[in-house]
Amino acid sequence: MPEKTILEARHLDKYFYDPVKFHVLKDINLRVEEGEFVSIVGSSGSGKSTLLYTLSSLDTDYEGEVIIDQTALRSLSNDDLARLRNRSIGFIFQSHYLLADFTAIENILLPGLKLGKRSKPDLLRAALEKMDLLGIRDQADKAVNTLSGGQQQRVAIARALINDPKIIFCDEPTGNLDSGNARIVFDLLKDLAHNYKQTILMVTHDESYQTDRQIRLHDGRVVD
């Protein structure tokens, strides 16, 4: 069965202009195939997070082309881009950005309710399935501010999965966790890619994590 390209960048350039013009991403060309678990690595200041934000549609000020699931992002209006982001993209950040006064399952449901494609009972079933998969179903009705850091990050992963995205973008998802919880979260992401064919692109400073493929940046260029 031929591979399907989920994400592609073509001659991607990115500049910062404040306080002076700075060329941060330089002629980036890459592809990520369906079901791949790919990491972006490189030294501090190499452009890793900037590349992730640009590829994931969070930063739209760039030159070149970014294509997600055969859709060129620059061709979309702001409203269409927001719809694609909610439908096809999941996000996991170093800080989980959960709503502290909401329960775990209420946080997970939010992107699905916003998308509005499924009934609430259907979404509830899906959310519980994701929590089962991640080993946190027993935390469903607890306020997230009562959960451990590792549990909160697993809630954030379940939230990223709720709309069955084509690709999940992760920015240092283990950066705020102790080594034990960091390994648990990484192994969960690896399991999602290898056993559930979830496409994942992750920025990490920890090169010991064994992903399917590493994209190495140096001074804004892909060097490996």
pLDDT over threshold 60, residue 1: no
Q: Kindly indicate the confidence band of residue 37, based on its pLDDT and cuts at 50, 70 and 90.
A: very high
Residue tagged 């399952």 (tokens): 105
pLDDT > 90 fraction of the chain, expressed in percent and rounded: 91
Determine the CATH number of domain 5-222.
Answer: 3.40.50.300
Pairing of strands 37-41, 199-203: parallel
pLDDT in tens, 56-102: 999 999 999 999 999 999 999 999 999 999 999 999 998 889 999 89
Q: What is the pLDDT of residue 2?
A: 58
Per residue, what are the HEC states of the chain? CCCCEEEEEEEEEEEECCCCCEEEEEEEEEEEECCCEEEEECCCCCCHHHHHHHHCCCCCCCEEEEEECCEEHHHCCHHHHHHHHHHHEEEEECCCCCCCCCEHHHHHHHHHHHHCCCCHHHHHHHHHHHHHHHCCHHHCCCEHHHCCHHHHHHHHHHHHHCCCCCEEEEECCCCCCCHHHHHHHHHHHHHHHHHHCCEEEEECCCCCCCCCEEEEEECCEECC
Q: What is the pLDDT of residue 224?
A: 82
Instruction: Give the span between the Cα atoms of 7 and 210, in whole angstroms.
Output: 20
The residues with which 218 forms a beta bridge, in sequence order, are 221
Q: What is the pTM of this model?
A: 0.93
Report whether pLDDT(3) > 90.
Answer: no
Domain residue spans in the chain?
Answer: 5-222
Q: What is the pLDDT at residue 96?
A: 86
Positive or negative, the Cα torsion across 144, 94, 185, 50? positive
Give the model's pLDDT for residue 43.
92
121-149 tens-digit pLDDT: 999 999 999 999 999 999 999 999 999 99
Q: What average pLDDT does this structure show over 144-170?
A: 95
> Sign of dihedral through CA atoms 208, 193, 202, 142?
negative
